[in-house]
Structure 1
Amino acid sequence: MTGTKRIWGTLDPFFEGGPVMGRTVANVGFLDALLQADPFDEYHFFLPGKRTLGPLRGHLEQTAPGMLEDGRVRLMLREALPGRLADTAYHCFHLSDCIASQPFLSRMRNRLSERIFPVTGPIHSLSYAAYPKAFLQHLWPGATRRDAIVCTSTAGRIAVEGFFGQLRAGFGLSEATHPGPRLERIPLAVDADAYVPGQAEKDGPTRILVFGRISHHSKMDLVPLVRALHRLILDGLDPKSVELVLAGWAERETHVLDTLTHLADNAGVPLSVVLRPDEARKRELFRQADVFVSIADNPQETFGITLVEAGAFGLPVVASDYDGYRDIVTHEETGLLVPTMGLAETPDVDLDAPLNFDNQYHLALAQTTAVDIPALAGALGRLVRDPGLRAAMGAAGRDRVRRLFHWPEVIGQYTALWDALWEEPVEAGPLRDLPHPLAPEYGRIFGHYPARTLDDGVKLSIGRTGEAFYRNRDFPNVYAGLKDAIDLEAVRRLAFFARNPVDSASLIRKVSDVAPHLNVTRIKNHILWALKQDILQITE
C-alpha cells in the first residue's frame, strides 16, 4: 500500500450544473475552493457513471486544467473503488452530502482499507420525510469517531441530534453501542473576492432584493413581505421610493407569481420579477440592490447561502429569525432579524408526511410558521429611510463574511477537521467483518435461488472455451461494468490450473498463491464467471 502522499477522495462530482440553487452553488464552490487551496497531493473522484464524469471533466478543464493534465486530479468510475481502497492510503474521503452513501463507504473502508481514514459529509436540506431512514444508516456499530457529519448551521446540528435521539428511542439503541458519527459545525461559504459591492449611493428608489427559489412550499411565503411593504405605504411611505425585486427560480406553476404580482399591484408596491438569471445577471442584481430580504419559513432551509452572498456584496440583510439565518446575520450589526413563531408539536403533519408528496407537508409546515409582519415592516422602514444605516450594516456584513464565510477560511476548517479526526483512536480489527444491517447480504438472502452453491467439494476442469482462451485463440467478453472486477490474467491462471480436474478449494489456493491481490471471495467470483463463459466446467 502506498502511503507517502496525502490523497483526498470522494464518490461525488460536486459539480452538477442545472438550476442555481443553494446546494448546487455550495457544492461547486467547495470543489473550486478546495482545488484552489490545494492542501493534498492528489484528488480521486469515484463517479457512478459517465454521465457525471463528463460534465465534471468539462468543469475541471476550465478551473483546474493543470491538475488534470499532471494526474493529480483523477476521475474514475465507481467500480474501481474497492481496489483503490485496498491498495491506496487515503487521508480522507469527503462526500457532497451525508445522506446517501456515507455509512456504506465507511463499511467498505472498514473491510478493505489498511487505515481507518476519516469519512465526512455535510448536511443540506433535512426536512424530507424519508430522512429518518437515511440517518438510521449512520447508527450502526461500525461508525467510528473518525467519521463526521458536517453541520452547516447550529440549527442544523440540533436537528440532526433530534433525528438521532428519535431513532435511538424508537429502536431501543444506546449511544454506547450505536454512537453514530461525530457532529461538527462548519458553515457554507462564498468567494468573497469575486463579489464586488455596488456603488455606495445609487439613483432611484431603494431596491429591496429577494433572490432564491420563488416557492411558497419549498423556500418562503412572500405574501408577508408584500403585506409589510403595504403597511409602510399606508403609514406614509412614498411608493415611488421603493422597488421590490424578486429574482430566482420559479415553480412550473405560475399561480404563485400571479398571486404576488396582483397583491403587490393592489397594495401599490412597485414589483419587478427576474426569472432564471445566469451568474452575470445575478451579480448585477445584487450590485444594484440596497437591501436584501429573505424571510424563510420552511424547514427545507438549513443554512441560507444567499444571505452570505448578500453580505459579500455589502448589503444589509433583513431576515426571518429562523434556522441557520441566526448564524449568518448579527442582529442590529449586519442586518435585522424578524421574529417568527411556529409549533412545538405537529401531530397531523407527522402522520401525513410519509404518505404524501414533499411539497404538501412542507407547505403545511411553512403555513404554520408566522413571520411577524409589523416587525418586518419596521425593519424595512428603518433601512429604507436611513442610507447611513444601510451602509454601516452592509460594511459590517461584508467584513463578517470575509472573516467567517469566505471559502479559503472554511477550507482551512475542513483540512483542520480531517487532520484532527486522525487523532481519534480506532481499533480496526473488530470493524473488518462487521455487517451493516441496512445493506442486504445477498448471498444469505438469495443463496437458495440457484440449484447449488460453490463449495469446497465442487470438481472443476478446463472448458472448451477455456482451452482456446488459454492458447489466445478466444477472447471472452467482459462487460463494461466488470472491467475492474474481472482480472483476465487470473482467469487464465484458473484455466491453467484446471487442465486436470481439481476441487474448488485446491484451485482457490493455487490462484491465491500467484494472485495475492485477490481474496477468496474474489477468486470464487472469478471461478463462477469462468463457468459462465465456458472457460471452466463442472466435472462430476
Structure 2
Amino acid sequence: MKNKGQVMTVTPSAAIYFHPEAYTTTGPKLMGRNAAGESFLRGYMAYTRASEFWAQVDNIEHAQAFAQAIQGAGRSEPAKIIDRNNIAALAQVGTLYCPGPGIGLHAWHRAGLGHGAWSLCGVTHTTASAGAMDSIAELLTAPVQPWDALICTSTAVKDNVSRILQAQADYVKQRLGATRLVLPQMPVIPLGIHTSDFEFSSAQKAQARTAIAADNRTHVVMFMGRLSFHAKAHPLAMYQALEAAARAIPANEKVVLIECGWHANEYIARAYADAAQKACPSVRLITLDGRKAEERQIAWASADVFCSLSDNIQETFGIVPIEAMAAGIPVVVSDWDGYKDTVRDGIDGFRIPALMPHAGLGTDLATRHALGVDTYDMYCGHVCSLVAVDVQASTDAFVRLFTSSDLRQRMGEAGRARAKEVYDWAAIIPRYEALWTQLAEIRRAQGRDVAQLPNPWPARMDPFAAFSQYPTSILSAETRFVLARSEASRALAQWRRLAMVNFARDVLPTEAECDAVLKALEHGEKSAMELARTAPAERQAFVFRSLVWLAKLDAIRLARK
C-alpha cells in the first residue's frame, strides 16, 4: 500500500503460454520459431522487471518443464501455473503471451469470463503458411479487442499482416455488411538476441581459422541457417557472386564459403553440392552442422563476411544477420523482409536489391497451395523461384569487402554497436513490458464497455441453450420435486459408485449437497429454487442444475400436478 501522495506503479507481467516445443532448439525439427522462442524465454527471465513467473500450460509435464526453465535460468522464484481448470487466474496476471499469431482461439477461451478480463499478446513468425494466414484472418471474426496485440517483428511483415486483414475485411463487409471492425494493436518490435553469445577472443578466432585451414590471404564467407533452397535462401545467387568475386581478387587470395546449417534430406544435400560445384568451382566449400554448438562457433569465429541472400516468403524477420552483426562481421544480405529494418545499407554491410513480379501474377501459386496441389514447401519454393537477387550487386559487395580490411572493420564495429543497442534482449524485453503496460491501460479504460452476449462463443454454446428443444420440459425455479423413496440417500450412494455414474464426478454435486437436498424433501415437496437454497450462495446455481441429475438417478421426482 502506498502512502497518500505516492505514485502507484504497476510491474508489467505476463503469463507465458508454455508448450516446451515452442521454446527449445533440441526438438526433432528445428525451425526459426524454436530458436526465437528459446531465446525469448531466456531473455525474458534475465531482463523482466516482474517478480513472478507465470505460465499457462496444457498438462502437468509442461508445468514441470517451465519450472525447470526457471531454474536453468538461475532464478529462484517458483513457477505459478495456470491450466484450463483455473484459466480465470489470468485476470490476476493481466496478459497472456502466446509465441505465435494465433491469439484468436485464446480470445474465444476468454470470452465466457469477460472480454476485458485480461489482454492477449501474440507474435509473428512465418506468416506464409496456411495455418498462420488463417490465424491472422481470424482476428477479424474472433473476439480480439483493442487491449490485445499482435507483435509484428518487422515493418515488412506488418504490411503483410495488414494486407491479409484488409482482404478479410473486404470479404466480411461484402458478405455481412459489417461496418465496425475491431483489431488488436500491431506494434513493430523486433526479435532479440543475446549479443554476448557472439563475442569471440582473438585466440578463439585464430583457432577457428586454423580448424578450417584459412590463412590471412583467405576470405571466409559464412551462411548460417537451414540449408533449404526452397524455404530459406536460394544459394545460387550467392554461389555465382562469390565465384565472380573470387576471380576478381588477386590470384594469391582465396575464398572459402562456410555453409553452417543442415539439410532436411539427402536430395537437398545433393542439390546443394551439385549447384556449388557448377556455380562456384573457384570457391572452397565447407559444410558445418549448425545444430552443433562447437561447429557454430567455428563458423562465427572464423568468418570475415556474413551472407544471406534470402528470397523466401517463409522469412519474416531474419535473426541471423543480427547475430553476425553482434559478432562484428559485416553482412551482405538481400533487401528483403526484416533485413530492411535491421541492416543499414553501407553502414553495417550491404543490402542487395531483390525483384519480384507485381500483384496479380501469383494467383495460380496461391490457388495451388490452397487446394493442396502444392505442399507448403512447394508453395514457398515456387514463389522464391520467381524472386531474383541481383548477382552483380552481390559480387560488387563481396569485392569491396574482400579488398578493404578497413571497410570490414568499420562495418563490423557499426553492426556490433547496433546489435547491442537495439537488438539485445536487454533492450527488447522492456519494449515488450511497455506494450503490456499499455494494453492494461487500454483495457482498464475500455474493457467494461464491451457487452457480454448471452452466448459469447457461438460455436461452443451452452448445450442446454443449443439443444433446448430436445426435452419435454426445462428445469425452472418453480419446478417442484418430491422425494422418490424413503431410502433415497442409501440408493444414491450406491449409484454414485457405478462407473457409468462416477465418470462425471467433476460436474456432480458433493455428497453433502445431495444430503441437504434430500433432507429438505423429507418434509414434503419443494420448488427447485427452495432446494438450491440449501447450498451456500456461491454453489446454488451448481446445485440447482444438479437437481436434474438427482432425478436421473430417481433419488427425487417431479411432483405430480
What range is the shorter-chain TM-score in?
A: 0.7 to 0.9
* Identical pairs, percent: 20
The partner residue of 2:193 within 190, 194, 198 is 190
In 2, Cα distance between equivalents of 1:224 and 1:377: 9
The farther-off stretch of 190-199 and 230-239 is: 230-239
1:232 aligns with 2:242: no
Please state whether the residue corresponding to 1:401 is helix, strand or coil.
helix
Please state whether the residue corresponding to 2:228 is helix, strand or coil.
coil
Report deviation, 1:531. 7.3
Normalising by structure 1, what TM-score?
A: 0.85
The partner residue of 1:309 within 320, 323, 327 is 323
Match of 1:264 in 2: 276
> Which structure is larger by alpha-carbon Rg, 1 or 2?
2
The partner residue of 1:358 within 376, 380, 387 is 376
Report deviation, 1:363. 0.9
**Consecutive unaligned residues in structure 2, runs of 5 or more:** 1-8
Match of 1:347 in 2: 363
Any idea what the Cα deviations from partners look like across 1:122-176, whole Å, max 9, x if unmatched? 1111011344432232114843221111111010111111111000011217886
Please state whether the residue corresponding to 2:34 is helix, strand or coil.
helix
In 1, Cα distance between equivalents of 2:186 and 2:502: 39
The farther-off stretch of 289-298 and 450-459 is: 450-459
In 2, Cα distance between equivalents of 1:473 and 1:292: 72
The farther-off stretch of 125-134 and 364-373 is: 125-134
Normalising by structure 2, what TM-score?
A: 0.82
Q: Is the 8 A contact 1:137 1:438 kept in 2?
A: no
Alignment of 1:137-286 (within 5 A): 137-140=138-141, 142-172=143-173, 177-197=180-200, 199=202, 204=215, 205-235=218-248, 238=251, 241-251=254-264, 253-266=265-278, 267-268=280-281, 269-286=283-300
Read off the aligned partner of 1:106 and give its amino acid letter. Answer: A
Please state whether the residue corresponding to 1:181 is helix, strand or coil.
coil
Please state whether the residue corresponding to 1:61 is helix, strand or coil.
helix
Q: Is the 8 A contact 1:216 1:363 kept in 2?
A: yes
Report deviation, 1:443. 2.4
In 1, Cα distance between equivalents of 2:331 and 2:502: 52
The farther-off stretch of 26-35 and 313-322 is: 26-35
Q: Is the 8 A contact 1:98 1:123 kept in 2?
A: yes
The farther-off stretch of 415-424 and 286-295 is: 415-424
Report deviation, 1:7. 4.9
The partner residue of 1:58 within 52, 56, 68 is 68
Match of 1:441 in 2: 461
Q: Is the 8 A contact 2:104 2:144 kept in 1?
A: yes
Please state whether the residue corresponding to 2:104 is helix, strand or coil.
helix
Alignment of 1:268-417 (within 5 A): 268=281, 269-345=283-359, 346-356=362-372, 357-417=375-435
**Consecutive unaligned residues in structure 1, runs of 5 or more:** none
Distance 1:370 1:284, change over 3 A: same
Report deviation, 1:327. 0.7
Report deviation, 1:386. 1.9
Report deviation, 1:291. 1.1
Match of 1:8 in 2: 14
Report deviation, 1:77. 3.0
Match of 1:89 in 2: 92
Any idea what the Cα deviations from partners look like across 1:448-505, whole Å, max 9, x if unmatched? 796668632485868999836998997788999989x64865x631442244365545
Please state whether the residue corresponding to 1:389 is helix, strand or coil.
helix
Match of 1:136 in 2: 137
Report deviation, 1:279. 3.2
Report deviation, 1:296. 1.1
Distance 1:250 1:530, change over 3 A: farther
Match of 1:74 in 2: 80
Alignment of 1:109-128 (within 5 A): 109-112=110-113, 116-128=117-129
Q: Is the 8 A contact 2:330 2:349 kept in 1?
A: yes
Read off the aligned partner of 1:149 and give its amino acid letter. Answer: L
Q: Is the 8 A contact 1:311 1:398 kept in 2?
A: yes
Distance 1:428 1:192, change over 3 A: same
